[in-house]
């Protein structure tokens, strides 16, 4: 077992972070075409640490995909798909 085996746990952590920050952003976001931009500006400027939550949500999505690609690459490299017990 090496450091490559941590990406599954990191995926769970990233997913939890995305859900929590997404719920927080959804409480303050308005999807109306006339007010969508102003609601994002409101989140970044007026909500306490809204800019941080928004950036964590945006960068968390990128980090999630980095982790999932590394998780898939580790499975392919070590041949984890060959184990019958997994399926």
Across the 87 residues of the chain, what is the mean pLDDT of every consecutive 10-residue run? 82 97 97 95 97 98 95 90 80
**Residue 36: domain span:** 3-81
17 lies in some domain: yes
- Indicate the pTM of the whole model: 0.84
Please indicate, yes or no, if residue 41 is contained in any of the structural domains: yes
CB crowding 32-53: b at 16 or more within 10 Å, else e: eeeeeeeebeebeeebeebeeb
- List the structure tokens of 66: 């980095």
Whether 87 is in a domain gets the answer: no
Tokens of 29: 């976001």
Residue 73 lies in a domain: yes
Decide if 28 contacts 50 (C-beta within 8 A).
yes
CATH number of the domain enclosing 26: 1.20.810.10
Q: Is residue 86 part of a domain?
A: no
Number of domains present in the structure of the chain: 1
* Residues 71 and 11: beta-carbon distance below 8 Å: yes
């Amino acid at each position: 077992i090496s450091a490559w085996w941590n990406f599954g746990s990191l995926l769970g952590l990233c997913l939890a972070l995305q859900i929590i920050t997404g719920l927080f952003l959804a409480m303050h976001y308005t999807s109306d075409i006339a007010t969508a931009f102003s609601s994002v500006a409101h989140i970044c400027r007026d909500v306490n640490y809204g800019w941080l939550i928004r950036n964590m949500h945006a960068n968390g999505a990128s980090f999630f995909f980095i982790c999932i690609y590394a998780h898939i690459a580790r499975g392919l490299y070590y041949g984890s798909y060959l184990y019958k017990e997994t399926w």
